[in-house]
A and B are shown apart, each in its own frame.
Chain A
Amino acid sequence: MNLPPFQALLDAHGRDVHRFLLATVGANAADDCFQETWLAALRAYPRLRNADNLRSWIFTVAHRKAIDHVRGSRRRAIPVADPPERAVEATPDGQPEIWARVRELPPKQRTAVALRFVVDAAYGDIAEMMDISEEAARRNVHEGLKRLRMELDDE
């Protein structure tokens, strides 16, 4: 199978992957997650069997890296000796505060909402990127939105 040069993927999807990560892991971690995403993809690339939907594939890698990152930083953030800084912080980086709230959503809702609104993915694409059904993709977006709305109303 003839795979396109890896740079073509980076040119076509790099910006959207970065935006997705800005929203899901925050500006401080986005660059690291971005590199991890593309290096993991590059490692696997020559063995890829199916090149029909490389955009979905790269977002599958990115969303797993994002979930690993958030999980890892939560684990690191358990108070032990020093009072640690909270990893999922409201935004000192100038980003709209709403992303900090998106980052507090359960992982699937967080990913689905970011894919829907940051990279404008259709439900069918979200399903493929997250390896869930289209129905579940739709539900995750709606549940996520409902929760964000409720939290904002509470204030």
Chain B
Amino acid sequence: MSNELKRAAELLPSGPLPDIGGAAATAGLLDVAYATLDSPVGKLLLASTPIGLVRLAYVDYADEESVLADLAARVSPRVLAAPRKLDEPRRELEQYFAGAREHFDLPVDWTLTRGFGRRVLQATARIPFGAVSTYKQVASEAGSPRAHRAAGNALGSNPLPIVVPCHRVLHSGGGLGGYTGGLERKRLLLGVEGVTNLTRR
């Protein structure tokens, strides 16, 4: 009998599993929905809460897990893949990379930021497409003109790169500065926006 049951177990159908992310969203139980997107700057992970987009991350296979673990710890453990819930941000990002969109009409959830860092990022969010600013400038818009180093740190841990365009913030001398996703990505994003005459340091 045991063997018959084991054999029968192997014959149980193994089709696609029912969609839990979508059902959870409908039931109001989904605190963090996420999806991934292939883009010219590599694979992106997008996550949103009922308030708005909360996280955009550059992921390779290896660190998707840690981005999700971080969201579970800092936002809510109710984290599920639910690509439909990210349709709008995905569409806007695709348009941006195709040169068909200059700013994002996306509600943003600033949960992962606070204090001075949040003010720096909100100042950065106001830099228009194709323009650039400096660490000093965003620090001063955030209320502390001398805190350009702290501003750099805040931008370095930007939870929403691209959408909060920290790539538009450069050194005062025109040097590229830093970028969490690597300087190659910063250059590429500026290229998308037609900013090419950069001093290399």
Contact = CB atoms under 8 A, between A and B. Distances in A.
Interface string B14-34: 100110110110010110101
Contacts of B72: 2-6
A105 to B, nearest CB: 12
A42 B31 CA distance: 10
15 contacts: A2-B72, A3-B77, A4-B69, A6-B79, A35-B23, A39-B29, A46-B77, A46-B78, A94-B13, A95-B8, A95-B13, A113-B5, A117-B2, A118-B12, A152-B1
Given A39-B27, A117-B2, A19 B12 contact: yes
Nearest to B70: A5
Given A15-B17, A46-B78, A99 B2 contact: no
Interface residues of A, number: 37
A73 B124 CA distance: 59
Interface string B54-84: 0000000000010011011100111111000
Interface string B135-161: 000000000000000000000000000
- Most B-side CB within 10 Å, residue of A6, A38, A98, A118: A6
Interface of B: 1-2, 4-9, 11-14, 17-18, 20-21, 23-24, 27, 29-30, 32, 34, 65, 68-69, 71-73, 76-81
A145 interface: yes
A149 interface: yes
A46 B76 contact: yes
A19 B27 CA distance: 24
B1 A148 contact: yes
Interface of A: 2-8, 10, 14-15, 18-19, 22-23, 27, 31, 34-35, 38-39, 42-43, 45-46, 94-96, 98-99, 102, 113, 117-118, 145, 148-149, 152
Contacts of B21: 7
B79 A7 contact: yes
A20 to B, nearest CB: 9
Contacts of A5: 32, 68-69, 71-72, 77, 79-80
B17 A34 contact: yes
A64 to B, nearest CB: 18
A42 B2 contact: no
A5 B24 CA distance: 14
Given A35-B18, A38-B20, A145-B1, A96 B80 contact: no
A24 to B, nearest CB: 11
